[in-house]
Every structure is written in structure tokens, then in C-alpha cells.
């Protein structure tokens, strides 16, 4: 419940209450004194007593001393007033302070940093190398061609200092590159380059790498200091693959990671979001922050089950961070080529943006690789250049607009240059260009990866609770029905074998000529048809003081009063916004125009009210639901409708980018044939029909965020597929105005309009910024992008604003600004915001002002989105919000394919268990003690002694640390004993076990386990999960992996390493490798296999579960 706002009236009431309490106390005290006097005086005797201790009635001390009851009443009253004063101060700060603070805030410049010398870095021995100088020069050329660079604040480039580099890289790493500076010996440099994966070194590489890193840091410094609103670093060499002590993947120093660490160390930031949409996983950046909860690293990359470079298991979705950083690392692995705009938008809407909203970053850094763009031979994806602004746009109002975009990869020069230039254009505040092609729907491979990523993170993030869950027993019950249960799958294919020397020539593998020609033609069409021209006027403004004449003659205190629009207009003037907008000349809508949404009889009935006396008007109004009438109602209502039409004209004729309509009376409750709920004519409905009739539009989106359901708008368009109506409103199971079932989530339209009506009903009051933001990103925006509107109309009621006397919700003014910004990415920015309800004149004035400032491009404070509340258990309102969104998604997914996967249910509980290595490299290596001897069969031994890469190694061999570094295996700590070992009978173990046996339920051969209790073969949890189901049903907790000969205890949720298991492991080892398994335990081997249950087969209770023993999971690389 919102705390009360202290007003002059409430203060007066507090005074009256205080006086009443005091009078009551005085009366009670007087009665008590009189009674006491009568008893003591014996009735009619003198009041002067002769007893000791008596006090004369004339004693002035008695007359002046207040009673104890009166003092207590005053004390309680003072405390009450003090508490109300504290509430007032808190409310003023919470509701309006951010809006007040940004009164004079105007858009700061977009910073641009680059250095022409960066074109010197090139491969001297391979002129066809993908990482070429043209990547840099073509981007700059396109930015200048579009006149973008001249609109930016150009920052001078600078080199990073050694101290800055050593924040993350080793000194040896720094010196190794420094030694190459100026070396002109190509043969020597090529030899050195061959020691690193995908690297070439030029005589200028060291200096230019320092320049790239220093420029990135300089950009971040300017953003944090408030000297620029956002910015872009067009730099090379790229950086996100560079690791602590290793050059890798064209990268030498990790530009983005170093800038982030600089912000943490120097500027003391506590929350940084790094978004990496380069098509290659930025493993270097991930490793630097894998344990750091101050940095969320979010990567979207081609993976193909490890077969795509850099071929690392840590690039899969299950790598979620370690230690304090657990839950802060996100990988969305793309396991197929050809991913499109629809796939990337789904990732942003369903996962990235909800997490970003909850994380509340203070700085956002984008590792902007454009190798997922159409035509890139490396990525082979199909993201169009115009899609990149749509990915960036929703981020631009987070982190108080501190967004730094840093160039990484991209190897199709046309799509790279266009994508990077359009990104800079978006940073400059230009509307997102309309997507020329129909938005493809998310692919099944994306659905699988995205839901898996949500599943492993949902226990760490409150915003990821939309999907319902299931348990293992339900999976068994539902298996044959093929229902909506999402199953976690992990398939590891891996890449080529590791080598001592990497190729340095002919590394570019071009696409087939016919595909190159097809991509080039498609890019040319996209560039030609993508409209980038913009009207000079950003916002037009519709308002007419004549609309103030409509008022309630019987109740001057009626909520829908003229001061609503008057206060909004005044605040726009105080904020200096009116002078920056095009003022539209007022006009009344014609009868024909009003009749686009209403019956002629309704229009005539309202017209006939002109000049009627107040009593008759009151009698007529009583026949409607919540309506008052005035002799000038018809004039004001047609003026309001005409004002909205004026804004639509200005926007659709290309005279203005956006429109603001400060109008009344409101309209969205007005039905076709009668007024309703303070509304006379439906302004937005008339405007939508007008745009369809006069401008030939085929798709108009109406978003209604008024706290009351827009019953009139819904009924007018419920059978019209040209208008998509989306309403967020308080519903209370049909008990909230306008009441009834029409506002429920299952009302989706009629006939041809079925599916084009979306209701998001709130069944509890108290919804705030976080709840509205979740609804927008996970429901409204996906549907809107699939609909692809040509015009967006906002029924902008502000009665869901905090402080509204009718709404009971908590949306802040800056929250409305954020929602407006998100909607402005649609329809090429053609959006008209039209006032509906809202009855706290301060709330609606600040809210509409924030919407206007947003459309003018001014910085608006980032909503806190309940940052403090997120540290507490979810509120009843938030839980109800999740339930409403789940219900709505379930209904709408049958109409909108972009939501098809949202209704899938996820495994319950923590989904990262048996296959999550604590830290893929650093943490493991610090604690490992693995033999370095070069015994035959050991990884890293003589070449002739090694198994061929990809062949599984017998478990008795001794892998070196390098095996872990190369991701051939990973380390976890097994239990040294387990109480469930007592269930085994080693003397009855089978003499042979088929290592290739299929799952007895589904026939899978991907990742199977053998039950040690009954020898049943079942697939692992990342396939069908049948072994886990069998374990739960048969109470057989121990299972042995056919793949790597590890033993897992489902009851203990851990691996187990014990001599008693040898009797089961050895037969499987013989079948798999045609040789007995080596005995590696400290105790003597026994023929019967019946070892004591103590650790390592000892007959004691010593707990060595935390010892340095290891279970090495060996997985195939091919």
C-alpha cells in the first residue's frame, strides 16, 4: 500500500484529532477529581480537609499542573504528526524528486573516439586476412557519409598506460607484445604469431593495442564524468578474446574488460553490464569477471555444441559464474547458423532486458561485433544492419544513459559498416529505422538455448519467474504426451585437435560465390529501402485552452477537472518544453471524423446538449455510467478529438517525428453509441480509424496504460485486424471499474480481429515500474514487433502513477518515460501520446512531462524499478503480476508465434548441478595437484604416446594441467565416501557392461548412465532425464556414466570416488577401452571388492569429502 501523502487538510485533521483527545482526557480527569473530592469530603462538608498531606483547593500548583492523561494525549499527538511528517518527506522524495532534478537536463553529446593510425595494423604475410584495415576505414566512411561523425563530440585518442594494462594482464604478457614493437622481421613475427590461436603481429600492433585500450578507457571516463551522454569507440585491434596471459582471436589487450575494471577501481562503480553480441564467445572477458558479482557478462554467440571457434565448454549456457559471481554470467549459445532478427530480439526481450532492469547497472559497455550480421563469412548469421539499433535502443535509458559501444569483430565490410553506422545513429538519438523485411520468428534452436539459459539462472533472478516449472515425476507422466515441458540438453561435439602451431596463412574461408552474390544483392535492397531521413521537428504538441470549459457544475471537486490539462501545460512551460515543440493549431473534429468510431445518433445526442440548463444536463448524465455533462461538452469533446487528429496528420505527413496531445475530456471508455467513464468521444479510436482511412495504414498499434480498462476502444476494434489493442489495467477479477469480464486476459477479439486484443489485467493494486517493465519486455514488445505497426497511439492515462487517488498503483514519472522510449522504437518512431485519465495533478503533470522529455531526446532518470524492494521477498503485487503475465502469455501464444516458446515449463530447482565445473580454469588450477610426468598416455607426453585428439583416454592415465587449459576435461571434487555405497553388492557385479547401450526408455545414445542397483540404462538429465526418474522411483541413487566412467549419487547430489565402485567401473572400462582399469586407490585391491565404507576404503569415519581428490570428466572433442 502506498504511504499517505500529507496535505494541508490532513494536517488540519490531525490538529482536530489532537484537540479532541485532549478534551476527552480533560473531561475524564475532571470527573475523576470530582468523584474523589466527594468521597473524601463526605458529601456536603468543607473542601478544606484537616488531614495531613492535604492540599488547599486554592493552591495554584494544582490549577496549573496538567493531568497525566492530558500529557499522554499530547505526546501521542506529537508522535503522530512527527510520523506523518516523515512520511511526507519520504513520499516527496520517492515520487517526484527524480522528475524535479531533471528539469534543466538536456541531451548531452554523443562521444566518438577513434584514431586514423589504427588502419596500420594488418597481416603482412596474408593480404586476404579477415581482420583487415578496411574494417576500420569503411565504418568511418559510412559514418561520415551519413553526417554522423560531425554530430558527435570527438574525443582525442590516447594510449593506455602499463599500469592500466596490468590491472588484468600479466607483466609477461605486456612485455611479450612490447618486444614486437617496430620489428620488421616478417618471418620472425609470423613464427611468433603461429604460437597463438588466430593471431598476427604487425610492427605497430603493440602501440595500436595500447591506443585501442586507452581510447576505450577514455570513452568510459567521459561517460562517468557526465561529459557525454553515451558514446562509441571505433577501434582495432579488437579485444574480447584476449586473456590474462595469452593473445587470442585477433585480440591482444582486452579493451572492454580493462575499461570495466578501470571503472570499478578508479570510479568505484558497483554494477557494470557487459553485453557481447560478437558472434564468437568472448571467453577472455568472461574469465576476468567469472567470480565478480559487480559485473554481469552477457554473451550471445555461435556455439554449435562446441564445434564453432573458440571450441570451449565454458561457452555453453550452464556456465553461470562461480563463487560470489554465481548467476552473473550469461551465455546464450546459438547452435545453428542463419539466426535472424527475430532470434536476437527474443534474447533481448525475454532474458537480457529483464535481467538488466533488475541488475540496475551504473554503466553499460557493449562489445559490438558485427559478425552476426548478414553476409559475414565468419558468423553465417542473418541479422540485418537495421536490427542493431533495435537491440541497442532499449538499453539507452538504463544506467542513466551511460552506454559505451566498443567495436569488436565483423568481416563483411558492407554489413559491418552499415550496422556500426546505424548503431552510432541510434546513440545520437535518431529513431530506430523500420525493419524492411518481415520479422522472422525465433527458431527452435534458439528456443532450446534461450529456455535452457533461463532455467539455469531463474533461481538467481526474480525477473525470470514467468515460466512455470515441473518436477521429474511429472516428466515421466507427461513423456508420451509430448507436452510443453522443456528439457535441458547439453551436447558436446568440440573442435579440431589442439596443435602446437596454428596456421597463419589462408585462414579466410570465403562463402560460395552464389551465396556472396545473394547476400550482396539482399544488403543492397535493405540499404535502399531503409528510410533514414527524418523530420526536423522532433515533437508536435496539441493543446487548446477551450478544453477547460468542460467541467462538473454540480461537483467542483470531481476528479476529471480542467486543472488536469492546465497543470500539464504549465509544467511543460516551466520545463522549457513548449518552445522546443511545434505548436499545432487547434481544430474541432468534424462529424464525419467522429463517426469513424461512433454512431451518428451518439454524436447528435451530445450535440443537442449544447445550451441546455444544468439541471437537465445532470438528469441526462445520470442515465450514463460515471459521466457529467456541461453546455460546452460537445465543443470540448470535438476539440479533443480534433487535436489528436492534428498530431496524427503532422506525424504521418512527415512534418514531426512524434506527437504529444494534452487533451480532455478523455476518450478510451466511450463506446460507439454512448459516453462512459468521464469519456464523451473516443479520441484515440477516432485517430486510428482516421489514419487507416486517410493515410491507408494497414497496421495501427494502440497501447493503453490507463489504470482502467479501455472498454470503449476494445469494443470498437474487437473485430478489426488492422488495429492491435493492448491494455494494461487494474482488474481485481472484474471488480475494478469499468467492471465485468471484458478486461480479462482471455478476451482476445472476435472474428477477423481474434488475437488482436491483448488484455493484461492486474488483480492486485500496488503495481509499479518493475511490473510494468516486465509486461512490456516479455509480452507487449514481442507482440508489437511481430505486428510491425505503421503508427503507435498511446492512450496515456496516468492514474497508475504513484499518488493517484483512484489507481492505487506506483508507476513513477520516469517509469512512464522509459515505457515511452521503448515504444518509440516501433513504426520508425511514429508515435502519438494522448492523455486519458490521471487524477493527481502533480503526478500526471510530471508523468506527461517525462514522456515529452523522452521524445525530445532529453535524459530522463532511470527508474529504480524497486531496487530496494528486490532485496526483500516478492510483494503480493509482484507475485500477482507474474500470475497475470503467465495467464496472458498462455492465451496469447496461440495467436502470436513470437510468444510460442514462452509457455514452456522449466525444470524446478537449481538446474546447474552435476555438470557445472566450479571455475573452468583459474579456480580449478589453483587447487589442483596433477602429475606433470610424461608417462605414456599422459596428455602432453610425446606425440607418439598420445591418444589421437578426440579419442577418449583410459581413466587410469594422468592428464596434465594443459589438458584443463585446452578444455579437454574439467575438474570437480567427488565425495570420498557415500552412505548409499552400502546398497551395492560388489561380489554380484556383472562381468561385462555394454558401453554403447541405449536408453531403455527413449533409445537415446547421447549421454547414458547405468544404474548400479539394477543395471538399467537411462539417459542423463540433459537428454531425456530418464535415469534421474528411475533413481527417484526405484530408490536406486547410484549411477555410472557410460561416457566418462564417473559415478553420480542422486541422493547426495555429488560424484563419488570409492574403491567399492571398481567392480562396476572395470567391466565398463574393459568394454570401452579393451584394457583393464588402472587401480589408483591407496588401499590394497581386494578380489571380492567389498571394501569398508570409510574414505578410500578405510574402516573409519574420516570425512575426506573436501580433500584434493578429483573426478576428471573427459569429453569428446569431435
What is the tens place of the pLDDT at every residue in 989-1016?
Answer: 999 999 889 999 988 887 899 999 999 9
Pick from 169-183, 242-256, 919-933: least confident: 919-933
- Per the prediction, the chain carries an average pLDDT of 86
* Secondary structure percentages of the chain, helix, strand, coil, to 5: 40, 10, 45
Comparing 395-409, 758-772, 870-884, the range with the smallest average pLDDT is 870-884
Of residues 1082 and 523, the one with the higher pLDDT is 523
Cβ atoms 390, 432 nearer than 8 A: yes
Per-residue model confidence (pLDDT) at position 363: 98
pTM (two decimals): 0.77
For residue 887, pLDDT beyond 60: yes
Q: Which residue has the higher pLDDT, 646 or 963?
A: 646
Beta-bridge mates of residue 541: 583, 660
Q: Grade residue 60 by pLDDT with cuts at 50, 70 and 90.
A: very low
Predicted pLDDT of residue 498: 83
Q: Residue 1048: helix, strand or coil by DSSP?
A: strand
The dihedral region occupied by 611, where left means phi > 0, alpha psi between -120 and 50, and beta the remainder, is left
Identify the DSSP state of 790: S
Q: Where are the alpha helices (DSSP H) in 59-161?
A: 60-64, 68-101, 134-145
Tell me the pLDDT band of 338, cut-offs 50, 70 and 90.
very high
What's residue 1016's pLDDT? 94
Residue 926 has pLDDT above 60, yes or no: no
Flag whether pLDDT at 230 surpasses 50.
Answer: yes
- HEC string of 878-940 equals HHHHHHHHHHHHHHHCCCCHHHHHHHCEEECCCCCCCCCCCCCCHHHHHHCCCCCCCCCCCCC
Distance of CA 471 to the CA centre of its chain: 26
When pLDDT is averaged across residues 487-496 and rounded to a whole number, the result is 88
**pLDDT confidence of residue 927:** 33
Strand partners, 760: 728
Are 716 and 846 in contact by the 8 Å Cβ rule? The answer is: no
User: What's the pLDDT at 951?
Assistant: 32
Of 71-75, 227-231, 329-333, 918-922, give the lowest mean pLDDT range. 918-922
pLDDT at 510: 86
Give residue 928's pLDDT band: very low, low, confident or very high (50, 70, 90).
Answer: very low
For residue 839, pLDDT over 90 is answered with yes
Q: What is the pLDDT of residue 910?
A: 78
Contact present, 329 and 290 (Cβ < 8 Å): yes
Lowest mean pLDDT among 250-259, 302-311, 840-849, 917-926: 917-926
* pLDDT recorded at residue 1051: 85
- pLDDT of the residue at 976: 83
Going by C-beta distance under 8 Å and a sequence separation of 6 or more, which residues neighbour residue 840? 801, 803, 804, 805
pLDDT at 1096 over 80: no
* Measured distance CA(396)–CA(377) in Å, rounded: 30
Q: What pLDDT shows up at residue 1045?
A: 86
Q: What is the pLDDT of residue 1109?
A: 32
pLDDT the model gives residue 870: 62
Residue 1081 — left, alpha, or beta (φ > 0 → left; ψ -120 to 50 → alpha)? Answer: beta
Cell of residue 938, nine digits: 599422459
Residue 418 has pLDDT above 90, yes or no: yes
pLDDT tens digits, 583-637: 999 999 999 999 999 999 999 999 999 989 999 999 999 999 999 999 999 999 9
Of residues 147 and 957, the one with the higher pLDDT is 147
Q: Greater confidence, 1093 or 544? A: 544
The yes-or-no verdict on residue 49 having pLDDT over 70 is no
At residue 872 the predicted structure's pLDDT band, cuts being 50, 70 and 90, is confident
The answer to whether residue 114 scores a pLDDT higher than 80 is: yes
* Active site residues per annotation: 241, 669
Give the least confident one: 437-446, 680-689, 690-699, 1098-1107: 1098-1107
User: Is pLDDT at 80 greater than 70 in this prediction?
Assistant: no
Is the pLDDT score of 531 beyond 80? yes
Instruction: Tell me if residue 423 falls in helix, strand or coil.
Output: helix
| Phi, psi torsion values for 42, nearest 5 degrees | 70, 25
Residues β-bridged to residue 1040: 1010, 1047
DSSP code for 666: -
Statement: residue 369 has pLDDT above 90:
yes
Using alpha carbons, list the distances in angstroms from residue 895 to 712, 753, 756, 890, 944: 22, 11, 8, 10, 61
Contact (CB, 8 A) for 192 and 177: no
Neighbours of 513 (CB within 10 A): 8
Q: What is the pLDDT of residue 694?
A: 98
Q: Would you say residue 1081 has pLDDT above 90?
A: no
Rg (CA), the chain: 35
CA distance 852 to 543: 14
What are the Cα distances from residue 80, in Å, to 66, 70, 94, 463, 870?
21, 15, 21, 38, 29
% residues pLDDT > 90 (the chain):
70
- CA-to-CA distance for 826 and 820, rounded, in angstroms? 11
Range with lowest mean pLDDT among 21-35, 199-213, 227-241, 876-890: 21-35
Amino acid at each position: 500500500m502506498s504511504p499517505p501523502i500529507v496535505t494541508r487538510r490532513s494536517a488540519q485533521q490531525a490538529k482536530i484529532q489532537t484537540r479532541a483527545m485532549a478534551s476527552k482526557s480533560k473531561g475524564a480527569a475532571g470527573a475523576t477529581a470530582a468523584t474523589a473530592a466527594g468521597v473524601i469530603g463526605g458529601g456536603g462538608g468543607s473542601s478544606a480537609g484537616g488531614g495531613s498531606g492535604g492540599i488547599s483547593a486554592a493552591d495554584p500548583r494544582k490549577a496549573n499542573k496538567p493531568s497525566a492523561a492530558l500529557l499522554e494525549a499530547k505526546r501521542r499527538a506529537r508522535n503522530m504528526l512527527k510520523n506523518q511528517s516523515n512520511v511526507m518527506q519520504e513520499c516527496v522524495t520517492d515520487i517526484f524528486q527524480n522528475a524535479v532534478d531533471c528539469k534543466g537536463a538536456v541531451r548531452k553529446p554523443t562521444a566518438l573516439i577513434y584514431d586514423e593510425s589504427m588502419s596500420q595494423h594488418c597481416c603482412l604475410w596474408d593480404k586476404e586476412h579477415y581482420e583487415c584495415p578496411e574494417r576500420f576505414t569503411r565504418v568511418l566512411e559510412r559514418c561520415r557519409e551519413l553526417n554522423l561523425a560531425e554530430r558527435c563530440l570527438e574525443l582525442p585518442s590516447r594510449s593506455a598506460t602499463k599500469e592500466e594494462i596490468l590491472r588484468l594482464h600479466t607483466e609477461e604478457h605486456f612485455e611479450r607484445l612490447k618486444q614486437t614493437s617496430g620489428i620488421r622481421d616478417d618471418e620472425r613475427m609470423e613464427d611468433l604469431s603461429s604460437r597463438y590461436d588466430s593471431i598476427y603481429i604487425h610492427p605497430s600492433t603493440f602501440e595500436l593495442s595500447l591506443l585501442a585500450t586507452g581510447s576505450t578507457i577514455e570513452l568510459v571516463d567521459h561517460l562517468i564524468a557526465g561529459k557525454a551522454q553515451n558514446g562509441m569507440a571505433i577501434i582495432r585491434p579488437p579485444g574480447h578474446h584476449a586473456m590474462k596471459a595469452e593473445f587470442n582471436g585477433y585480440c591482444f589487450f582486452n579493451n572492454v574488460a580493462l575499461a570495466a575494471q578501470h571503472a570499478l577501481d578508479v570510479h568505484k562503480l558497483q554494477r557494470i553490464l557487459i553485453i557481447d553480441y560478437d558472434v564468437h564467445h568472448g571467453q577472455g572477458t568472461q574469465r576476468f569477471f567469472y567470480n565478480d558479482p559487480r559485473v554481469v557478462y552477457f554473451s550471445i554467440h555461435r556455439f554449435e555444441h562446441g564445434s564453432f571457434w573458440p571450441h570451449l565448454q565454458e561457452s555453453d549456457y550452464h556456465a553461470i559464474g562461480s563463487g560470489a559471481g554465481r548467476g552473473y554470467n550469461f551465455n546464450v549459445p546459438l547452435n545453428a547458423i542463419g539466426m535472424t532478427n527475430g532470434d536476437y530480439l527474443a534474447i533481448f526481450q525475454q532474458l537480457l532486458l529483464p535481467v538488466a532492469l533488475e541488475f540496475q547497472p551504473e554503466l553499460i559497455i557493449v562489445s559490438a561485433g558485427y559478425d552476426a550480421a548478414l553476409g559475414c563469412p565468419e558468423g553465417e548469421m542473418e541479422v540485418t544492419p537495421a536490427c542493431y539499433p533495435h537491440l541497442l535502443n532499449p538499453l539507452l535509458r538504463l544506467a542513466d544513459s551511460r552506454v559505451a559501444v566498443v567495436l569488436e569483430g565483423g568481416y563483411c565490410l558492407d554489413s559491418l559498416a552499415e550496422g556500426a553506422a546505424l548503431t552510432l545513429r541510434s546513440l545520437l538519438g535518431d529513431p530506430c529505422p523500420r525493419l524492411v523485411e518481415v520479422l522472422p520468428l525465433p527458431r527452435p534452436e534458439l528456443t532450446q538455448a534461450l529456455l535452457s539459459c533461463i532455467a539455469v539462472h531463474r533461481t538467481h533472478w526474480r525477473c525470470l519467474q514467468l515460466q512455470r516449472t515441473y518436477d521429474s515425476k511429472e516428466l515421466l507422466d507427461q513423456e508420451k504426451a509430448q507436452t510443453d515441458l522443456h528439457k535441458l540438453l547439453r551436447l558436446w561435439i568440440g573442435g579440431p585437435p589442439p596443435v602446437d602451431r596454428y596456421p597463419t596463412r589462408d585462414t579466410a574461408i570465403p562463402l560460395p560465390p552464389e551465396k556472396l552474390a545473394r547476400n550482396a544483392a539482399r544488403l543492397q535492397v535493405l540499404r535502399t529501402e531503409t528510410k533514414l531521413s527524418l523530420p526536423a521537428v522532433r515533437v508536435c504538441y496539441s493543446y487548446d485552452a477551450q478544453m477547460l470549459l468542460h467541467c462538473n457544475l454540480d461537483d467542483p471537486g470531481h476528479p476529471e477537472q480542467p486543472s488536469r490539462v492546465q497543470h500539464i501545460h504549465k509544467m511543460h512551460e516551466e520545463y522549457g518544453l513548449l518552445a522546443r515543440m511545434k505548436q499545432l493549431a487547434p481544430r474541432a473534429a468534424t462529424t464525419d471524423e467522429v463517426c469513424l468510431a461512433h454512431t451518428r445518433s451518439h454524436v447528435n445526442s451530445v450535440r443537442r446538449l449544447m445550451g441546455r440548463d444544468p439541471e437537465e444536463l445532470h438528469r441526462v448524465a445520470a442515465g450514463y455510467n460515471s459521466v457529467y455533462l456541461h453546455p460546452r461538452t460537445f465543443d470540448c469533446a470535438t476539440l479533443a478529438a480534433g487535436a489528436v487528429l492534428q498530431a496524427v496528420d503532422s506525424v504521418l505527413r512527415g512534418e514531426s517525428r512524434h506527437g504529444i496531445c494534452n487533451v480532455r475530456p478523455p476518450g478510451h471508455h466511450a463506446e460507439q453509441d454512448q459516453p462512459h467513464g468521464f469519456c464523451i468521444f473516443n479520441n484515440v479510436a477516432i485517430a486510428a480509424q482516421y489514419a487507416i482511412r486517410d493515410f491507408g495504414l494497414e497496421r495501427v498499434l494502440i497501447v493503453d496504460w490507463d489504470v482502467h480498462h479501455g472498454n470503449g476502444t476494445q469494443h470498437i476494434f474487437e473485430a478489426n485486424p488492422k488495429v492491435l489493442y493492448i491494455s494494461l489495467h487494474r482488474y481485481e477479477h472484474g471488480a475494478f471499474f469499468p467492471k465485468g469480464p471484458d478486461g480479462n486476459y482471455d478476451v482476445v477479439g472476435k472474428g477477423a480481429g481474434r488475437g488482436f486484443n491483448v488484455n493484461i489485467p492486474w488483480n492486485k493494486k500496488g503495481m509499479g515500474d518493475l511490473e510494468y517493465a516486465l509486461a512490456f519486455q516479455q509480452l507487449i514488445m514481442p507482440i508489437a514487433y511481430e505486428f510491425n505497426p505503421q503508427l503507435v497511439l498511446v492512450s496515456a492515462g496516468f492514474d497508475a502513477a504513484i499518488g493517484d487517488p483512484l489507481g492505487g498503483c506506483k508507476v513513477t514519472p520516469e517509469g512512464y518515460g522509459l515505457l515511452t522510449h521503448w515504444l518509440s522504437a516501433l513504426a520508425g518512431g511514429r508515435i502519438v501520446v494522448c492523455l486519458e485519465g490521471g487524477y493527481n495533478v502533480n503526478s500526471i503533470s510530471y508523468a506527461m512531462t517525462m514522456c515529452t522529455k523522452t521524445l525530445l531526446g532529453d535524459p530522463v532518470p532511470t527508474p529504480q524499478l524497486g531496487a530496494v524492494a528486490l532485496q526483500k521477498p516478492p510483494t503480493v503485487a509482484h507475485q500477482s503480476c507474474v500470475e497475470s503475465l503467465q495467464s496472458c502469455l498462455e492465451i496469447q501464444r496461440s495467436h502470436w508465434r513470437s510468444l510460442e516458446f514462452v509457455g514452456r515449463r522449466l525444470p524446478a530447482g537449481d538446474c546447474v548441478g552435476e555438470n557445472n565445473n566450479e571455475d573452468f580454469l583459474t579456480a580449478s588450477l589453483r587447487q589442483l595437484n596433477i602429475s606433470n610426468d610424461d608417462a605414456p598416455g599422459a596428455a602432453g607426453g610425446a606425440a607418439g604416446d598420445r591418444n589421437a585428439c578426440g579419442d577418449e583416454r583410459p581413466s587410469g592415465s594422468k592428464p596434465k594441467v594443459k589438458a584443463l587449459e585446452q578444455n579437454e576435461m574439467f575438474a570437480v571434487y567427488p565425495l570420498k565416501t557415500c552412505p548409499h555405497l552400502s546398497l551395492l553388492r560388489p561380489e554380484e557385479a556383472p562381468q561385462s557392461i555394454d558401453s554403447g547401450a541405449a536408453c531403455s526408455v527413449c533409445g537415446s545414445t547421447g549421454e547414458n548412465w547405468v544404474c548400479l542397483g539394477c543395471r538399467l540404462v537411462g539417459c542423463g538429465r540433459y537428454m531425456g532425464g530418464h535415469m534421474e526418474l528411475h533413481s527417484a522411483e526405484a530408490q536406486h541413487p547410484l549411477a555410472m556414466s557410460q561416457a566418462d566412467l564417473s559415478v553420480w549419487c542422486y541422493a547426495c547430489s555429488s560424484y563419488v570416488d570409492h574403491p567399492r565402485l571398481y567392480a562396476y567401473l572395470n567391466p565398463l572400462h574393459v568394454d570401452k577401452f579393451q584394457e583393464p582399469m588402472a587401480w589408483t586407490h591407496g588401499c590394497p585391491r581386494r578380489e571380492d571388492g567389498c571394501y569398508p565404507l570409510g574414505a578410500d576404503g578405510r574402516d573409519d569415519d574420516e570425512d575426506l569429502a573436501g580433500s584434493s581428490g578429483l573426478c576428471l570428466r573427459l569429453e569428446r572433442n569431435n
